[in-house]
Amino acid sequence: MSTPTRQRRKLRPLIITMGGPRRESLEALFAEPAMAANFEPPIFSPGVPSRSLRSRYQFLSQAYRAGLLPEAEWEAVRDHDCAPDEGDTSTDAFFAGLGDVPVTTGRRGSAADIRLHYSRELWQKAKGINRGRAVLGCTFAHLIALRVLVDQELDFVLEDNVRVPLTSCADRIWELLEATSNRKCHHRYYGWLGSVPNLRWIYDFHAPRFSHASDIFEHFAAFPFPSNEDIGNDLTAKEANSQSEINERDSETDHRQLDERKPGGNPVWGCYAYWISKEAFAELMETLRNDVGAMLWKTKRARHYIVKPIDKILPRLVMRTYGQEAVLLPSHPAFFRAPMLTSKIHTKWDAEFCKSTKFQLEHSGLSWSDLWLTAMEKAVVAYHEQE
């Protein structure tokens, strides 16, 4: 076993949170002796409540905080007499202050879109997203946090829904850094998840094929973010073999079980524990500032726009710019999604998240009992384990 190439130090986390009990739980977590020995006290970045995106003025204020609006456009909207007036329903009156502000050139979109100021296009597409406000608020919160991450050169961003194995969390982070020390990485995950079929495919096929094992930790490896093309290539070969076997038996149960085992959809869930490079962040902001469609899209017949979640925006943009090898995942995550926690996006207990987390924990040689959990979470896990 060779000597680590990196000098270990206390790591500096940044946590996105709305405050309240979730922040208190994370403060208690990082105050644990095993964590305090390896991590600086976390810096907290504010979440963006969905209710703050309902009115034009508040919406644009949050978009400005996220770094999306051109400075001149925000100043014109902010200083215009009609801006704070919730009773003024005229869009033309609200944006009248933009009259002397030049429209940003070089943007992507239809001819009708790029004739508008960025702030007006963004609002017109976002005003009818309804439940999508929680998803867009999450994206804004991540953009706000990422600016702090790169400006202060912090080590990673967390959402406030994470839990950790106390004694091995820091080791797993350093293992990933060692495993990727000779590779140009722009987006590094410290926690990730997916459906059970996707996890099984990643661990059994994708990771062994593309992993670069660490020279220091023989059990640990890092591998590139899986793409839908990777899944498709494997399915083509696997289905041909499986289908021929099933056809010989001609069993409906076999056909159904084959479908249930198929990987597909979004290969990886979540953006709850990760790092992004300064270069990738600059590329991200340039893309979003020049293309509202990178966040909001709709089909031709749809009435309202759909919000792209941050866990789809980030890896796709980084891979498109720097290649698939620039986005790396660890075989053994340092952070796991908390059990049973709900949010504005996931409003009910999500059984699939918990099934996936349990599967991933077992693959990492852990169980729920190895994670730092609140007393209530321990009780809920124990109840569902008995069930």
Q: Measure the CA–CA gap between 47 and 137, rounded to whole angstroms.
A: 8
pLDDT of residue 232: 83
Question: What digits encode the pLDDT tens for the residues 14-37?
Answer: 999 999 999 999 999 999 999 999
pLDDT category at 227 given cuts 50, 70, 90 is: confident
For residue 25, give the nearest of 42, 50, 47 by alpha carbon. Answer: 42
Q: Measure the CA–CA gap between 258 and 310, rounded to whole angstroms.
A: 31
**Are the CB atoms for 155 and 174 separated by under 8 Å?**
no
pLDDT category at 79 given cuts 50, 70, 90 is: confident
Tell me the pLDDT of the chain averaged across its residues: 87
**Are the CB atoms for 144 and 48 separated by under 8 Å?**
yes
Checking if the pLDDT of 239 tops 80, the result is no
Mean pLDDT of 208-216: 70
pLDDT category at 97 given cuts 50, 70, 90 is: confident
Q: DSSP letter string over 104-173?
A: PSS--S-HHHHTS-HHHHHHHHHTT-TTHHHHHHHHHHHHHHHHHHHHTT-SEEEETTEE--TTTHHHHH
Checking if the pLDDT of 104 tops 80, the result is yes
pLDDT category at 322 given cuts 50, 70, 90 is: very high
Mean pLDDT of 132-155: 98
Q: Measure the CA–CA gap between 149 and 12, rounded to whole angstroms.
A: 10
Residues 6+ apart with CB under 8 A from 108: 114, 290, 291, 293
Question: What digits encode the pLDDT tens for the residues 179-205?
Answer: 888 889 999 999 999 999 999 999 999
pLDDT category at 360 given cuts 50, 70, 90 is: very high
Amino acid in position 347: T
Residue 90 has, within 13 A of its CA and on its CB side, a CA count of 6
Q: Is 348 helix (H, G, I), strand (E, B) or coil?
A: coil
pLDDT category at 237 given cuts 50, 70, 90 is: low
| Helical H segments across the chain, by residue range | 20-31, 33-36, 56-65, 71-79, 91-94, 111-114, 118-126, 132-151, 169-179, 196-201, 207-210, 228-249, 252-261, 278-290, 310-322, 351-363, 375-386
Checking if the pLDDT of 343 tops 70, the result is no
- pTM of the model as a whole: 0.88
Checking if the pLDDT of 108 tops 90, the result is yes
Report phi then psi at 180, rounded to 5. -115, 15
pLDDT of residue 61: 97
pLDDT category at 127 given cuts 50, 70, 90 is: very high
CA dihedral 18, 157, 200, 312 (to 10 degrees): 80
Q: Measure the CA–CA gap between 294 and 151, rounded to whole angstroms.
A: 24
Mean pLDDT of 78-99: 68
Checking if the pLDDT of 84 tops 70, the result is no
Checking if the pLDDT of 215 tops 50, the result is no
pLDDT of residue 341: 61
Structure token pair of residue 364:
């990492």
Percent of the chain with pLDDT over 70: 85
DSSP annotation of 52 reads G
